[in-house]
A = this chain, B = another copy of it.
Amino acid sequence: MRLQCNLLERMREFDLIKTHFTDWSTNCSNLKLGIGDDCLVWQGDQPLVISTDTAVQGVHFPEQARPDQVASRAFLSALSDLAAMGASADFFTLALSLPADLTDHWLSEFAKQLRVLAQQYQIVLAGGDTTRSKLITVTISVHGCVAKPLLRSGAIAGDDIWVTGRLGGAAAALPTILASYDETSGDANLGTQAVSAKTSIPSQWLNAYWQPDIPMLFAKQASSLLNSAIDISDGLMGDAGHLARASQVDLEFDIHALPLAEQLQPNVPQHLALALAGGDDYQLCFTATKAARQSITLLAESINQPVSLVGRVVRGNGDVRWYDGTHQIKPALQGYQHF
Chain B's nearest CB lies how many Å from the CB of A152?
Answer: 5
Chain A stretch 113-164: residues in CB contact (< 8 A) with chain B: 126-129, 131-135, 137, 139, 141, 143-144, 149, 151-153
- Give the nearest-CB partner of A60 in chain B: B1
Stoichiometry, as copies per complex, reads 2
A231 at the interface (CB under 8 A from B): yes
A198 at the B interface (CB under 8 A): no
Contact A131 B5 (CB under 8 A): no
Does A37 make an interface contact (CB < 8 A)? yes
Contact B56 A131 (CB under 8 A): yes
- Verify if A111 is at the interface (C-beta below 8 Å from B): no
**A69 contacts the other chain (CB 8 A):** no
Task: Determine the residue in chain B with the shortest Cβ distance to A59.
Answer: B132
Pick out which of these stretches binds chain B: A44-52, A256-264, A308-316, A319-327: A44-52
Q: Is A255 an interface residue (CB 8 A)?
A: no
Residue A217, interface by CB 8 Å? no
- Contact indicator per residue, chain A 295-338, by CB within 8 Å of chain B (1) or not (0): 00000000000000000000000000000000000000110110
Asked if A214 is an interface residue, CB under 8 A from chain B, the answer is no
Residues of chain B contacted by A97 (CB below 8 angstroms): 54, 56, 137
In the assembled complex, how far is the CB of residue A71 from the closest CB belonging to chain B, in whole angstroms?
15
Chain A interface residues (CB < 8 Å from chain B)? 1-3, 5-7, 10-11, 32-33, 36-43, 46-56, 58-62, 73, 77, 81-82, 84-85, 87, 93, 95, 97, 126-129, 131-135, 137, 139, 141, 143-144, 149, 151-153, 171, 174, 178, 229-231, 233-235, 238, 246, 277-280, 333-334, 336-337
- 20 A-B residue pairs with Cβ-Cβ distance under 8 Å, sorted by A, are A3-B59, A7-B277, A32-B47, A37-B149, A37-B153, A38-B84, A38-B152, A39-B51, A39-B82, A40-B49, A43-B48, A48-B48, A50-B143, A54-B139, A56-B133, A60-B131, A93-B141, A129-B139, A135-B137, A139-B139
